[in-house]
Structures are given as C-alpha cells and as structure tokens.
Structure 1
Amino acid sequence: MQLIQKSLLLFLFFSSFLFGQNVAPVLQATGNQIYCPQTSLPIVTNMSITDPDDVGISAMYIQISSGYVFGQDVLTLTGVHPSISASWNAIEGKLTLNGVSGNPTYIAFIAAIEAVVFSSTSPNPSGQRVFSITVGQANYLVSTDHYYEFVPNIGINWNTAKDAAAASTYYGLQGYLATITSMDEVQISGVQASGAGWIGGTDSETEGVWKWATGPELGTVFWNGTVSGSSPNFAFWNTNEPNNQGNEDYAHVTAPGVGQPGSWNDLSATGATSGAYQPKGYIVEYGGMPGDPVLQISTTSTITIPQITGTTNATRCGNGSVTLQATANLGTVNWYTTATGGTPVFSGNSFTTPVLSATTNYYVDALPIGCTTPNRTMVTATINALPVTQFITPTTVCQNTSTTLTASTTAGVINWYDSATSTTPLATGTTFTTPNLSVTTTYYFEALNNNCVSARTPITVQVSIAPVVQDEFIGICENTGVTIHAGINNATYLWSTGATTQTIIIWNAGNYSVTITNSFGCSATKNFTATLYPIPRIDTVLVENDQITIVPLNVGDFEYSIDGVTYFSSPQFTITEGGLYTAYIREIHDCGYRSKNFVVVSTPPYFTPNNDGINDFWSVKGLQYYPKATTVIFDRNGQLITTLTQNNHVWDGTFHNEKLPSTDYWFIAEIPETQQIIKGHFSLIR
C-alpha cells in the first residue's frame, strides 16, 4: 500500500511539473476506534495531507457519512486553532473547517482534524459511524467512493438539470444526475443533503418502467409499475408513490417534511410552480464514469460502539448452575451482577454461573473496561422449583358412583392422568372428579412448574360392588294378598311402604320398591310393578239361533268354554242342537272361574215317523227347560194339528190317531220366560 501511495505521489509530482497542472492533494487518516458512551473521542488517531504543489487550502470538510443520528451525534473542534474556524451543520452531519483568512496550511488543518472529536448525547448509542474527510464541499460516501452535491436552482426542469449535471465536474470527476442504489446513498444524497431535487430516474420511455437515465447505471430498470409495483434491485419511493398524477415521468427526492426523509416522488418534467412539489434544484453524483481520474481527496475513519447482538437465557429445574450465552458485534462480552457499575465476574461469550437456588439476572456489555453504560443487556438464569406433591387417600366408593380426588403441590399446577404413561391430562387442578366407577380404578397425578415435572403418583379408588337386583312384575288375584321378597340376604331393607323387613304382603296394584344396603354400605333399589287380576263373572249368555256369546260382567284377561275342558280366548260358540248347556269363564292367571247354565232352542227341519228309532218325532228342542213354553203346529191350510207343552212336547205325525201325509207343516213356539216367539216350518217325510 505504501509503495502504491509513493508511486501515486511521484506520478502526481512529475505530472504537475511537466504539464503545469494543479495536483489534487492526497488525504490519509487512521484511527478505527471503539467508542465509550457519554464520552468524546477524536475521529482520527493520525491524519496526513500530501500536496506536491500547494502548502495549504481554504477549507476542509468532515462529515458523518454513515450511521449518522440527527439530534444526537455531534462533531466538535477542540483546542486552539488561530487560523481555522469551525461550523457544524446538523442537517448534513457535517463539520466545516474554514480558514479565518487566506489559506491555512495543511499542517494547521492536520492539527485541527486531529482535534475534532465525536460525541453522542444518547446514553446508549449503537452501531458504527463512518467519518469522511475531504477537501471539497460535496458529500463523500465511502461505500461507493462517490461524491454527492445538491445544486440549488428553483423551478429548474428535469431535462435542464440532467444537462447541467452532465456539464459539471468535481476535481476532474464527471457529474451526472444522481443514481441512488442503496440506503447509504439515500442517507448521504437525500437525508444529509442541503436540499432536495431531481435525480436521474424516469419512465418517459415506457410508462411504468422506471430506468436510470444517467451515470454508470444508464438503462438499468429499478421499478416496475406504480404504487403497488416492485423493484428488481433497489428503490425508495415515498408512501403512495409513484402515482403518475398528471403524466409524472421523472424521479425527484421529496422536500424536507414530506413523507419519509430522502424518499422519492414522481413529477412532471417541470414539477409544480410553487410549494413542496416545486423543484428546488438537483443532485449531482460524481464517480464511476469512464475516464474519471483516480483521486484521494477524501479519506475515512470509523468508530464502532460495541453492542450486544444476541443473548441466550438458560433454565433448569432445582438448584444448580446454568450456562448463559451472549455475543457482541465487537470486543469481548463482560458479565456483571449489577445493571450498572461494578466489575466483571467473567469475560467471554459463554458464562457458567455458580450454583443457584433462585432465579438470578446477570448483565452484559461489550465495552472496554472503564466504559460505562446505563443500559446493559440482561441475561436471566431461571431456577424453577421442583414441585413436591401430596394427596388425600380416597375412601372406598360404591359401584357406579364417582368420587373426588384431592392433591396439592408446593409449586406449579397439578395434572391428572388415566395411566402412568398417558400424555393428555384428564383434568388440571387440585381436585379431580372421577366418572362413575364400576371397578377398582387407579389414577395418576403430577405437578408441572415451568417445565419442571414431579414424579407421577398413583391414587387407587377402591370400588365395592352394590347388591345385584332385578326388577319384578307381580300379579295379584282379586281379594288375595301376595308376598314380595327383596331377594338379597344379610342386608338392611327399606320399602317404599316404610317397612324394613325382607318381605312384605301387598293387596293392591301399583309400584313398590325396596332399597337394599349391603354390609359395605352400598345400596341398590329393586322395583316391583304389581297388577291386579279380577275374579271373572258372567253377566249373561246371549243365544241367537245357533250362535252363543258369553258376556262377562267385568273386564280382565279371560278365556271361555262350553264344556269346562277346552277354553278359548273368544267368547263366541256355535251350537246346533238345542238343549241345556253350561257356559264357563276363567281368569288366565288362575285367579278363579265362574259358570252359568243356558238353554239353546233348535227346530229340526224334518222328521221321519217310520218307527226306525231315528227322527221318529218332531219337537222344538230345548223347550222342555221352559215350563211355560207352548208350540202349535198347523198344516198348510192353517188347520191346528196339535199343541205341544212341557208335558206333551213331541209330535208323532198323526192327527186324531191318523197318520198325516208327507208334506210341510208350520209352527209357532212361544217362550214366556224369554219373551221369544219362534216361527217356521218343517217337513214330514214318510
């Protein structure tokens, strides 16, 4: 490096000697340093200016070109410098050193620059500050090695500004409307510039396709679309820009106070005629063009404020030590037990604490020993107590009932589980109510305190079996008591009637129950449903020709018979032969029966009085059971043939002992007892 610098100086010296040109000075600064908050620090440790054809200059410029914090950072000239005055521009972050009269010597400027100090009013500044020291007024940015200059010219249009910038030079560097490709350039050319104005972007060629039309970036697209568009590289439009209101095709750095400092808006080529959107000038950028000379008219130095960039807390369960981590952007991490003051207990990125019994905070910074800061970074060693648990032994419960389990812990919360290995809690809290249990069951609980878990503890609920009962349906015959039985021995009993015996006698229909309690104190209830079965009674027996119906007097589950042997559910029967019969009715649950005699009257359709012993006589069968009944028989002419009574109840087919011929005869039978009159005819067949 020194060889290159010596060669450059020799080249400049002989060039000025041969061609008689004024050679630009070469500036060099050293002093990349660490800054302690609330102190003042010289921006360089050594400064040199070499100029083969001049011994002095009228002014020098020192700017915080990167990392500048407006309102906090300040550059100050200290000491006595009779030939030099200093002025601070807070907007630009620039300190100007001017000759009081004439051109102070480079030696005087070197002494002044070495006496310039940086300070910050912030109690906890951060980051890095880059200082550019240059012989010209243009702002110098070390990251691009370019120079930026705002040229005031109210109302200038974009095309005129573009031409004016291209006609500008700076120590032989070709000028152009600025092309801004990074936030560093936004800061130096916009935020820290003395004014705002045109830059080299336009979409005049294709609407919505924004390109740089100047400088080394000529033709590079930096934005596609309008407000909702996107950048293929870098753009810094203000909020709701570009909006293309009124054919706005040219990029402009917004005026101070309009939106984000240093951001852009689109304007027409002329802009507004007044106000914030009237162009106030343009920004010229120097550097990067073909044929530009190699200059060293600027130099830089850097100060860095050591800063903690990351921390890692640590946690453990129970007493012990933990390892805490911290990293810094520069320097060594120092560990303290207090937020301010004191001496480090350790230095390094990884700190293992002593044995701790409680949560403890440590504090870190990366400042050199002797620097102080009111805002060290806290790193916490968290000690979570291991829970200690206990529980209340549950009492024995009866089958199909629930119980509430109770446990406690010295720290954290209690979770309940259904197994020793399950991961999903049944419930959380100091109590847990089980579902109804049918068998002896074991549950488990553990305490959780900030990821510290106690041992999982079993709690067993003993379950006693309740008496096994089965409900019954009981039938009671009318006027008869029935004994019902609880069915379980060696227990206590409580009936719904109030009785406490194992059995009771019931007489009436209804619902009865008994609660049976065994020797374990477990109870079950047995239910009885009692139904009353009535004794059957016959109201009457209806006889209609050969159809017989037994009519009960009451309602019940009855069956019927006319022979007393075979019973049917239907009360209706068919009897074709007249005579005396008995009707039977019985209750199907053996709750008694009743019977009743009845007479069936029938009239034979013919008879054959031929003395063969078969159908030799005709009579109304069954009338013999009605003493008052009479039957008169007529021939077809209406002549009375005979009258039948109880004492003479058959006819042999004669009239005055003479056999009558085969033909049809008519009859009328009257039964006073039943108020019946039966009429009809029959045939005599010989």
Structure 2
Amino acid sequence: MQRRFIWLIITFVTLLCGTVWSQNLVPNSSFETYRNCPRLDNLLQEAIPWYNPNRATPDFYHQCFQTGQMILPPHSGAGLARLFFDRGWGEYLGIRLLKPLEAGKCYYLEMYVATDTPNKYLTETLGLHLSTQPLTATATTEMFTVRPQVLDHLANIPSLKWQRVSGVVEANGNEQYLTIGSFFKTPPMLGFYYVFIDDVTVVPINLDLGKDTTLCSRRATLPLNATTPGATDYLWNDGSTNATLRVAKAGTYSVKVTTPCKILTDTIRITYALDFDLGADTTLCNGQTVTLTVPPEPKTTYRWQDGSVQNQLSVKQEGQYSVQVFQANCVATDTIQVRYIPPPALELGADQALCGAQTFVIRPTVTEGKFTWHDQFAETERTVNSSGVFWASVRNACATVTDSVVISYGACDCVLYAPSTFTPNGDGQNDTFLTYACGDITITSLTIFNRWGEAIFQTTAAPFQWDGTYHGESCSSEVYAWSIHYQQKLGKQIIPKQDQGQLLLLR
C-alpha cells in the first residue's frame, strides 16, 4: 500500500495547558535524561536512548554543565539538542519509539526548533521521518534522500525564538523509528547554520471524553475536554465549537472533532445522584407560606438548618433556609433566601358616565409597589375626555394587582326623570308622582321621605309612582324628598347607581 502523507503548514492554535494527551511514544523527548552530564560538543549519545544515524556529530547540551554553546534556554526542562548543516554535512537525531505505530491510525508529530541565523535557515527542508527500520549512513555525512512525513514551513522566523513544527500522519503500520534533520536541501558554500531541537512528540490521535459519570449534586460541574492533537474543528451537540465544555446539568453530551487525518466522535452521559434544587431566592406576601421540598429517594437522609430531618420544610417567616442531603458518599447542599413584604394595592375609583365636553381626572390610590398604566401613559394621574376602559397595575416582588375604570360618554340621551311637583287632588291631571327612565336605565326602587327623614313610602316594583298618601291618609301639602336606586348599562357593564331630590306636594 502506498504511504499516504499529510502535509501541514504550521499554524495550529496552541493546545490548552493541562490537557492530558495520549502517551508520547518518544522516550526522553525533551532531552532531560542523560547517562553522563555532557561537558563537550558532539555528545548526543549521552542523551540515551537518542542515537546518531550517520557519521556527523550532533550535539546534546544540558544545564547540568554550561559549555557556552547553549545560547538560549530549552523550550522546556533543562536539556536540548543541536544540529549543524553545511554543504555535504547533515546532522540528524534518531530515536526508537516506545512501540510501533498501528496501521490506519492517525498520529500527531511535533517538535520545537530555533536558530541563531534565521537569514541562513533553509525553509521546507527540516522535518520528521518515520520508518520501520532505522535510517543509517555510518560511512557518510551526506543528507538522507527520503521524504519526511512532516516538514516545516517556517518563514520569517526570529533569531533564537522557539518555533513549532508539527503535522499529522496516518500510519502504514510498524513504523517505530523517528529521524529528525534536513531532507531536501543542503546549504550553499559558506551557508552553514545551526538548529536547536527540543520537545519532540509522537502521540496517537485519540478522542476520549471518559466514562459515563454520576455527579453528586446539581451544583457540581464537570469539565469535558476534547482537545485533540492536530484538531482543526470541534463541534459539540449544543453547537459550541470550543475544545472544552463545562457540564452543569444531566444529559448526554457528544462532540465531533475534525483532524486532517480523520473525523473523531465520542459521547458521554452525565447523571446526578442528588438532582434537586430549592429554587431561586424568593419574595412572598405577608402571611403567605411556602413549602421547601427535596424529592424523596431511597437510602437518603436530610438535615435542615433548624435540625429537622424530613424532606420538606414549611417556611412562614423571613430568613435563609438550607438543607444537606446525604446519599452514600454524596453530600448535596442548597440554600434559599426568603423575604416577606406587604402586598401591593390599587384603586382607580368608580366607573364614570360623562356627557358632552365633560372631563374626568383618574386619581389612582397606590400602595406598596410600582404603578404603571397598561397603555404606557407616563403620569400617574390622567385626565380623560373620551370613552374607554383604562387598565393599570401595581407590582412589587410579592405580587401584582390590576384594576380598571370604565369611562363612558353614552349617557347624554339617557336620563332619569322625576317631577318636582304633583297635585294629588283627583282632577285627573298630575295626580301621582311618577318616575321613569330611558332604556339604558332600569329603576329598582323608589322611596319617599317626609321632612323628618322618615320613609313614608317605598316600592321595588313598577310602576315607580306615589299617590301622595301614607297609611291610606292624604299627606299634607309640603316639601318631601325622594330617593331612587337604578342600574345603568354602560357598554357590557351594568352599574348600580342612586339619585335623590325634592318634590312639592300641592292640593
């Protein structure tokens, strides 16, 4: 099978700190371990198990001894390697991996490089080569003429600044040797240069969110980390595109990770052993009660702040309430603050029947809250001159109350009639005190009072009239008072009303 190479321009975003990758297959990857502290040049063999693939003389330096050749700090740790390139002279680093690569599996390769002569550095020649057998040329210092799987594409590199070279490759299988060096170009005459090497990585590209997990309480969270070497895109089932996702509720979470080699997916299920919530802090009206409840579960115990051990607690006064719930090795705690305030009150007044150019000022009576008209009128008091139903509310954290007032200009032609004089003398003219009204007004009672306020006549049935007698005797000529109760229809409403006046009885 022909080897499939994947070439990458080195522009990957720096991977998150603290991410746990698969095992690095490169032993002594950052040149920390040595057999003997290197005190001279050309001592790569001291950085076991690194080896020199040809007759050239690669260097190994460590901070255990300062030779003066380590002209920049290691990328990490205390050691680094150095390669020299000249016409006809190519130095390489060789290492046997901890285990052979698996066929069809994707691997991420990475190293950090730096040079003190970037103007001489030959880009697109430094690389990492994987092979089933070690590259060796013990009789020559010439460049190896093989194609590395990962090649640098560095341009405009600064002097003595570490640069990352990385890439992804799909293994043919059984590759177990890694060779680092220059593969395509050699420097021209007098174009020699050095390259420092540190932190060499070969890791399998895996995606593992971990096993399905049960958390103790709803307050517990779990960070999911899908960071994958060489990944170019992340997509979680909630649409987020970061490498990490913090789980704060039960559910099934999945992620799709795109790499230049293949697309990886993984899923994890998160549950909560004690999945309860006392709710948000709340405000109640004076006199109200609320019952705080933790759903009952087997083998579970409860302890409230007052020492009670039931799964419910009735709250009747202001304060902070908390509960601890115990189940096996899990302990969950939740707290709620309860506040009490008076309820709001609103009175817009009685409905009004107006006529012609009359106006009316609605003066709301408001207590314990914020007042608003439903039609967004800005002021509290308002003068009205047209029919309508005017709604308003008063709101506070305890409750919201609403009231309305009906203003009607439909009563102009609808009047209540009561005569001011009548003559009950038996001549057939104006012998009774008769009251009546139009169709929108319905009289329900008529009462007649003498001058001492005594009710001398009352009726609740039509016709609403008085013949001028009291207990069968004719009443004397004088002034009397009348009171009429009636109902007036305003739109869809029927409003009870009362009117009164004086009448003169003449004989």
| TM-score calculated relative to the size of structure 1 | 0.22
| TM-score calculated relative to the size of structure 2 | 0.28
Larger helix proportion, structure 1 or 2? 1
